[in-house]
Amino acid sequence: MSGAEEGMHPTEPYPRNLGSEHPVVVPPARAGGPLPSAPIAVPPPRRRARWPWAVGIVVVVLAALAVGGEFVARAVVAQQIRSQVITALKLPADQQLDVNVGGIVLPQLVAGRLDDVRLSSKSVALGPITSAVQVDATGVPIRGGELGSAKGTFRITADQLEKAITAAAGSTPIESVTLVGADVKATGSVTLFGASVPLSLALTPGAVDGELTFTPTSATIGAMTLDASDTSSPFASALKPLFATQKLCIADRLPAGVHLSGLRVDGDALVATFSADSAITTDPKLLENGTCPAS
C-alpha cells in the first residue's frame, strides 16, 4: 500500500530551474533543521592607488638632482675663489691653495653671499720666509659688495724663523734660533776684548705696523746674564746694541688691506695673526702691496 493510501502526504519532487521566468523558490528551513545554503556576495578587489609610488620616485629624482647640483656648484665656486685669490694677490699660477666653503652652497648662491669660506696653503713665500697660511672669511660677496670679515694666521716654523731673524739682525751675530716657552731664543757669538764669546738672546715676538718684531729681554754672554733694564754692569753700554728691537717688515709682501695684529709662539712654530679690511673686495688699492716704514 502507498503512502497516500495510508493517509500520509506523498513526497513531491524538488522543482527544477525553469529559467528567469520561473525562478526557483527555495523552501524555508524546517524548524530545528539546518539553514539552507545561499550564495555569498564577494566584493571585487580594491584597486591599490599607485600615486604614492610615483611621488616617491619624483622625490628621489629631485633629491639626486639637488645633490648633483650641489656637488657641481661647490666645485665651481671653490675653483673660482682660488683663481680670483691667486690673481688678486699675484701668486704663482700653480700655488697650492685649498678652498673650503661651509654649509650648503646652492642657497648661498641664490642669496649672493657665502657664509663661511676657509682658504689654506701649506707654503706661501713672504719675503725671506715661507709659511703656512690659513684664512677664515665670512659674508663673502658673490655679486659685489664688501666682505663681512676675514681673519687668518701665518705659521712660521723654527727653521724659517731663523732665516727671518738672521735677515733682520743685520750686524748682530745670530747663528741659530729656537723656540723656548713663549720666547724666541737666538744664539751666536760676540767678540769682546779680542775674544769670541758665546751669546744668547731671549726675544719676545710681536707685530707692529706690518712688521714682525723681536725684542730682547735678556742676554747671556758666556756665564753672565744681563736684563735689558740692567745699566749697572760695566758691559751695559757695550752690549746696549744687542737689546735693540729687531724688525722684519713683510707689509710690502701683503695687500695693503691686510694688517698684522700679533705674533706669538705656538708649540714648534711662530704664529702671526692678521685681519683684512671689509672694503678689500671693493677697493682695488687695498689689493696692492703695502709699504714698509722708512728706516
Residue that wins the pLDDT comparison between 66 and 207: 207
- Residues 272 and 263 sit within 8 Å (Cβ to Cβ): yes
In sign, the C-alpha dihedral spanning 241, 254, 288, 113 is negative
* Strand order across the 113-126 sheet: 98-101, 113-126, 129-141, 149-157, 269-276, 258-266
Residues 138-150 have pLDDT tens digits of: 999 988 899 999 9
pTM check: above 0.75 = no
Q: What is the pLDDT of residue 147?
A: 94
Phi and psi at residue 225, to the nearest 5°: -115, 130
The Cα–Cα gap between 129 and 238 comes to: 31
Give mean pLDDT, residues 164-179: 72
Confidence class of residue 1 from pLDDT cuts 50, 70 and 90? very low
The Cα–Cα gap between 1 and 145 comes to: 124
The Cα–Cα gap between 176 and 171 comes to: 14
Q: What is the pLDDT of residue 71?
A: 78
Phi and psi at residue 266, to the nearest 5°: -135, 95
Residues 13-72 have pLDDT tens digits of: 545 555 555 555 555 555 455 555 555 555 666 655 555 655 555 555 555 555 567 778
**Which H helix or E strand runs over 141?**
strand 129-141
Q: What is the pLDDT of residue 3?
A: 45
Q: What is the pLDDT of residue 148?
A: 94
